Amino acid sequence: MQKKSTQTVRLGTLGSTPIIIKVRDGLDASHGSDDCSLFHLAGASSSSSAAPNATKIGQGYRLISIEESSDGSLVGYLQVKQKNNIYGPDISLLRLYVKHETDNRLRVHITDSKKQRWELPYDLLPRDKPPALKQTIGRSRKSPLSVSETEYSGSELIFIYKADPFGFAVKRKSNGQTLFNTSSSESDPFGELVFKDQYLEISTKLPKDASLYGFGESSRPHGIKLYPNDPYTLYTTDVAALNINVDLYGSHPVYLDLRNVGGEPSAHAVLLLNSDAMDVFYRGTSLTYKVIGGVFDFYFFAGPTPLDVVNQYTSLIGRPAPMPYWSFGFHQCRWGYHNLSVVEDVVENYKKAQIPLDVIWTDDDHMDAKKDFTLSPINFPRPKLLDFLDRIHKLGMKYIVIVDPGIGVNSTYGVYQRGIANDVFIKYYGEPYVAQVWPGAVHFPDFLNPKTVSWWGDEIRRFHELVPVDGLWIDMNEVSNFCTGKCTIPKDRDCPGTGPGWICCLDCKNVTMTRWDDPPYKVNASGEQVPLGYKTIATSATHYKGVLEYDAHSIYGFTHAIATHKALQGLQGKRPFVLSRSTFVGSGKYAAHWSGDNKATWDDLKYSISTMLNFGIFGVPMVGSDICGFYPGPTEELCSRWIEVGAFYPFSRDHSSHDSARQELYLWESVAESARNALGIRYKILPYLYTLNYEAHKTGAPIARPLFFSFPSYTESYGLSTQFLLGSSLMISPVLEQGKTQVKALFPPGTWYSFLDLTHTIVSKDGVYVTLDAPLHVVNVHLYQNTILPIQQGGLISKDARMTPFTLIITFPSGASKGQAKGNLYIDDDEQPEMQLGNGYSTYVDLYATLKQGSVKVWSQVQEGKFALDQGLVIEKLTVLGLDGSGGAPSAIELDGKPVAGVSHVEVNTQEHTYHMESQEDGQKKSMMVEVKGLNIPVGKNFVMTWKMGL
């Protein structure tokens, strides 16, 4: 958002969407009562947000001592070279701690040598602790160490440091590449290390051809790759996702760096584990962090493949949560389902339209006066709601409701009474902090307090006894506040009154008296350098044991998700489902995420792909965006195209605002047709998605991935943000522009088969762009070679779809005389809290196929087969693609060593492949598809099927 004479200011939220006004430079904005005036919005003149390298701050530090500890780590001390007071005084002496924690992970930790500083609590994100700080450091040297450069080597990463001014680099041992280098050069200068109480700065050089991804959450107009000079601010805010290039709901200070040198790709990642607000400046050849507190706690992950990187990253921050099977079905929600009969009609209309639906949601409409854990006795009377839930539960459908963190201040409200009695709320000068959201005046639970976690769990238990919901949606947890500053409840008027609920009605005063409320460096919060306490909790408020909101602000949603996940898991021992708007490093271990309040525009449809792919890198693979847009109402064509993308989000939900026109997928017949087609594919590939869920839980692998994850050597894919993969080999190429009936899609080298017509083939030796036909109701999905994809027959509810017979689609390179393909399948009782083998409630199947000298062999290796056998699951058909078609039809077909020829119910069909003309290459071999159907192979038993091609 480029503005010269105005500023964009949020006055409140509509739903969770900000009301935006323009304010002339130099003016304050105010709203509500006169006492609710806001902070002055102009940033401090000393802020370097607009020009990161305009001023170098100090001369850095010198290394005065260093030694290797008994555990193999390095411990050293850094002394400031020359003090200054820009952004506050320097911390004179720092402690450096460096350790190769694993073969592929290096940690570099820098903090005050004498005083404990804020760090992300070790019980929230378990990790090794650096050694305790020493009370006395020993005699310091006034001159630097007599070393110019020294190496500390691990299995794959090398830490190299120099003494004066202190700087360090991280190199990859296998190819000698420098991955991180804090020492600037004359050609690309940047500042030295800065470490003050409220300002930390460090930079790294980068090669020009490095492709960077990550740093979020924000909506990216330039796609998934970081774009030089775009702003990257990390601070959680309730700013709608429709705003581009501003800090949104989550904070993820991690990036993945992909390089290709001489045709050899390698990837690594860098995490700065710090929850304080920060600006990150990316200039293409350098990267600068400017952080307003905490410590430097860097983790370097060696890769070398993108999948390796995410595996190593999630091994530190926590593996993604296992999601229940039904959560991969389609979800329908709307803010504005004003009573139960509307909800019942929505469910019935989806059924009538023959559009799959697994989960129905309600926003705050079900609540009594918008209070958490309550039911409206008029609009959602409990007896009728319980009857409705009993009916949909018998069908296999689920029901989820919203729960915001703000607890209404109401002496007759049991949740509030118990919260006060248990002293669970965030404090401001000894009293619970007063804010405003939908119920009016609220207090916010302090989830850093163990008592709060217990109280929250008890409230969820009480509510579940009232309404047996199947999951919880935690929203507004950045945390969002309709007011700013120190507020009190007015005595002369109702709050909220009859006006819009998002207008501040409390009596409020600015909070600027502390350095926490008005820090010396102004991060580019909300894209406008708004004060950190603007429309959230005052940053001088305190949590458990005196922790400042200033430091803990961006982990609020993370702690909220942990407490909610724990509560749901403790209810009945079932696998929880939590959807959280605000996220932090490690949130994927507890929650799914959606991208918040988007807009019903073609641009927002495009942004949703980049956001989804970024969150896979962040370790939050269960992610999606509001299908058809949150507001205003979409056009018919946009909604039709959006479901063709949204059907392939890992988390697939239609959601809209009460101020928008209704947009359920059945309301337009053209959209309903697109939904039946796209969701029809989704419900067939549910076993694949669910197996990817298992893979994500075990290794962190994203469910939805950029193409470069599977094709890291193919540089053309590095910036691609309009297509994506599910797993390693199912590619989605949607239409993202109005009025288009074709889509130009990139096909990396190899053979691709159209999922809509398995005989249609695209082959390229070096990669090719192909113009695909894409009529309004068609989304192009392609399957890559060397894959075995297990699918089922689909259905309207995942409970039914998952019991239908399987087909295995096996893909060899087109016309190949030899080849191999692999796949896998994970099946379990998705109510089990853990997603694992060996508990008696799961089965895992490895699938293999080979083509050699005209012989085809397909077989399985089953682990823990009893569960699949008890479910009666069978493979009904094998479809093998890409076989050499020059020799004739298959013969000598055997299953487990026995001929199937003559078996009445087994049918064999062959069909020749056709090639897309833009990918046709000279000398293309004739190839064919072979189908063997009418089989009845138990999924839970090993099998071997063979046949010969030709006479």
The CA radius of gyration of the chain, in Å to the nearest whole number, is 29
CB atoms closer than 10 angstroms to residue 12: 22
Q: Is 154 exposed, middle or buried (0-12, 13-18, 19+ CB in 10 A)?
A: buried
Phi-psi region of 93 (alpha: psi -120 to 50; beta: other; left: phi over 0): beta
Spatial separation of the C-alpha atoms in residues 912 and 795, rounded to whole Å: 29
How far is it, in rounded angstroms, from Cα 218 to Cα 232? 8
Contacts of 285 (CB under 8 A, 6+ apart): 188, 205, 206, 207, 208
The β-bridge relationship of strands 806-816 and 874-884 is: parallel
Q: Which two tokens stand for residue 619?
A: 């370790």
Listed in sequence order, the residues at least 6 apart from 5 whose beta carbon sits closer than 8 Å to its beta carbon are 24, 25
Between CA 692 and CA 416 the distance in angstroms is 41
Quote the CA–CA distance of 674 and 682 in Å, as a whole number: 12
Q: Where are the beta strands (DSSP E) in 840-873?
A: 842-852, 855-863
User: Residue 765 and residue 441: Cα distance in Å, rounded?
Assistant: 64
Q: Which residue spans within 48-192 are E strands per DSSP?
A: 61-68, 74-80, 93-102, 105-112, 150-153, 157-162, 167-172, 178-181
Catalytic residues: 475, 478, 597
For the record, the structure tokens of 346 come out as: 């929505």
What does each C-alpha distance from 553 to 87, 479, 539 come to in angstroms?
21, 8, 8
For residue 123, which amino acid is it?
A: D
- Bridge partner residues of 584 (DSSP): 251
Amino acid identity for residue 727 in this structure: G
- Provide the 10 A C-beta neighbour count for residue 88: 15
556 within 8 A of 242, measured Cβ to Cβ? no
Tokens of 580: 């959280």
Angle between helices 450-466 and 414-422 (to 10 degrees): 160
CA distances from 606 to 137, 455, 594, 600 (A): 54, 41, 15, 11
**Three-state secondary-structure class, residue 762:** strand
Q: Which of 561, 514, 563, 521 is nearest to 541 (CA)?
A: 514
Dihedral, CA of residue 181, residue 187, residue 190 and residue 191, to nearest 10: 90
Query: For residues 762 and 751, is the Cβ–Cβ distance under 8 A?
Result: yes
For residue 658, which of 633, 634, 639 has the smallest C-alpha distance? 633
Closest CA to 860 of 842, 848, 874: 848
Whole-angstrom distance, CA of residue 659 vs CA of residue 520: 40
Burial class (CB in 10 A: 0-12, 13-18, 19+), 150: middle
- Residue 335, token pair as written in the block: 């803010």
Give the 3-state secondary structure of 486-534: EEECCCCCCCCCCCCCCCCCCEEECCCCCCCCCCCCCCCHHHCCCCCCC
**Residue found by looking up tokens 């009666």 in the block:** 872
* Tokens coding 610: 């980049």
Q: Residue 155 phi/psi, 5° resolution? A: -65, -40
**What are the start-end ranges of the E strands in 356-395?**
359-362
Element counts in the chain: helices (H) and strands (E): 13, 55
